């Protein structure tokens, strides 16, 4: 049972989020569909990062939780197009921060949220 927690739970998150993503992509179109796809991806990556943390909470550090949640909300709003900052776009493109690296940040935020 302990192995399921470490291996099965992240795999379960991958399978369920992939199924949900495909259902939304197939049956919901337009702006609502693209918004839901982004939100499903963010929730799946964040929960995947949470599932990767094998330890229990060692320190009740509020700052890690606040920073991870704030960064996640900021990135979600940026991806949804709630704001457009040309300086931020130039900065992110200069360092090569695109879709894949933003996904890695979501996973890191989920990991830090649990830690």
Q: Which residues of 45-62 are buried (b: 16+ CB within 10 A; e: fewer)?
A: bbbbbbbbeeeeeeeeee
Helix axes 99-114, 30-52, angle to 10 degrees: 50
Give the span between the Cα atoms of 88 and 95, in whole angstroms. 11
The SS3 assignment for 95 reads: coil
H-assigned helices in the chain: 2-3, 9-27, 30-52, 62-80, 86-94, 99-114
Residue range 61-101, pLDDT digits in tens: 788 889 899 999 998 998 888 887 888 778 777 776 677 78
Q: Mean pLDDT across the chain, nearest whole number?
A: 83
Q: What percent of the chain has pLDDT over 70?
A: 88
Please give the pLDDT value at position 69. Answer: 92
Contacts of 99 (CB under 8 A, 6+ apart): none
């Amino acid at each position: 049972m302990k192995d399921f927690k470490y291996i099965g739970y992240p795999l379960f998150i991958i399978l369920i989020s992939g199924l949900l993503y495909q259902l939304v992509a197939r049956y919901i179109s337009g702006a609502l569909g693209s918004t839901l796809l982004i939100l499903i991806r963010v929730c799946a990556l964040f929960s995947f990062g949470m599932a990767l943390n094998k330890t229990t909470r060692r320190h009740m550090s509020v700052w890690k939780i606040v920073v991870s949640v704030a960064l996640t909300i900021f990135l979600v709003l940026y991806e949804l197009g709630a704001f457009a900052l040309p300086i931020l776009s130039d900065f992110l493109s200069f360092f090569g921060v695109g879709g894949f690296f933003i996904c890695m940040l979501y996973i890191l935020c989920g990991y830090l949220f649990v830690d």
